């Protein structure tokens, strides 16, 4: 069956102005005047093309069965030759299990996953993106999941862990927690992996300071980008 779209697009683009949001900082490269409008690939319409339709059909046939709700897939996107399923957070483990075990799908490997922060002004700003590989059929797809955030009483963003289904996601979910602050419920050992255990904040979030914070172990301080260099 074809999934139903729900309440609007599962992700939104963010316009970019200047290099890293910094303007009038003595930049002579021209990037300070950069202006790119926000872009979000629209929902794809059938036929998706090639084997994309086969994968979508096999996945949608399982919706409503095997514990996977009909509304698990919010949107299908085909952009730059890649197929992406936007998944509701609560249904991510069930969808992953079907993607792995269904004989018509056989996405046996989670080859990578990472976090995305679209910025404070974007609804559902934090996402986790899983890249699944079928070694049987030599295919790759993407699962995009928007974190449940903000939660009640200041709860952090949350997404169910898929480590029990794809063990290769273990360190990558830890890195996404470390860098973006997304809590993966059910992860066996969700601790920092790049930053020290007592580090404050999540360095790849858009609201994390680019400079002016103490450098660990050196006792120095990094100035903000617009104070680092001038050509006058």
Ordered domains of the chain (ranges, CATH): 40-221 (3.30.460.80)
3-class SS of residue 41: coil
Q: Could you give phi then psi for residue 226, rounded to 5 degrees?
A: -80, 0
pLDDT of residue 158: 94
Contacts of 80 (CB under 8 A, 6+ apart): none
Is 127 within 8 Å of 118 (Cβ atoms)? yes
pLDDT of residue 6: 39
Counting beta carbons within 10 angstroms of the beta carbon of residue 135, is it exposed (0 to 12), middle (13 to 18) or buried (19 or more)? Answer: exposed
pLDDT of residue 139: 97
CA distance 60 to 72: 9
Is 124 within 8 Å of 147 (Cβ atoms)? yes
DSSP 3: P
What are the pLDDT tens digits along the chain (232 aa)? 444 443 356 766 666 666 655 555 566 666 666 776 767 788 999 899 999 999 999 999 877 766 566 789 999 999 999 999 999 999 999 999 999 999 999 999 999 999 999 888 888 899 999 999 999 999 999 999 999 777 667 789 999 999 999 999 999 999 999 999 999 999 999 999 999 888 889 999 988 887 666 555 556 666 666 666 655 5
């Amino acid at each position: 069956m074809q999934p139903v779209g729900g309440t609007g697009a599962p992700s939104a683009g963010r316009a970019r102005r200047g290099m890293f949001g910094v303007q009038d900082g003595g930049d002579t490269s021209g990037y300070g005047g950069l202006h790119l409008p926000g872009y979000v690939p629209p929902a794809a319409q059938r036929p998706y093309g090639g084997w994309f339709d086969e994968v979508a059909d096999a996945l949608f046939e399982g919706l409503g069965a095997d514990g996977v709700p009909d509304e698990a897939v919010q949107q299908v996107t085909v952009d730059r030759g890649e197929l992406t399923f936007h998944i509701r957070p609560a249904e991510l483990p069930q969808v992953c299990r079907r993607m792995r075990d269904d004989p018509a799908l056989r996405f046996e490997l989670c080859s990578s996953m990472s976090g995305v922060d679209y910025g404070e002004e974007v609804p559902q700003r934090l996402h986790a993106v899983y890249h699944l590989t079928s070694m049987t059929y030599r295919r790759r797809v993407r699962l995009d999941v928007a974190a449940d955030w903000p939660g009640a009483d200041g709860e952090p963003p949350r997404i169910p862990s898929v480590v029990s289904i794809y063990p290769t996601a273990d360190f990558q979910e830890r890195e996404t927690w470390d860098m973006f602050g997304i809590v993966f419920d059910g992860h066996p050992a969700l601790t920092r992996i790049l930053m020290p255990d007592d580090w404050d904040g999540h360095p790849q979030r858009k609201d994390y300071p680019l400079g002016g914070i103490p450098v660990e172990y050196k006792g120095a301080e990094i100035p903000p980008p617009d104070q680092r260099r001038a050509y006058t």
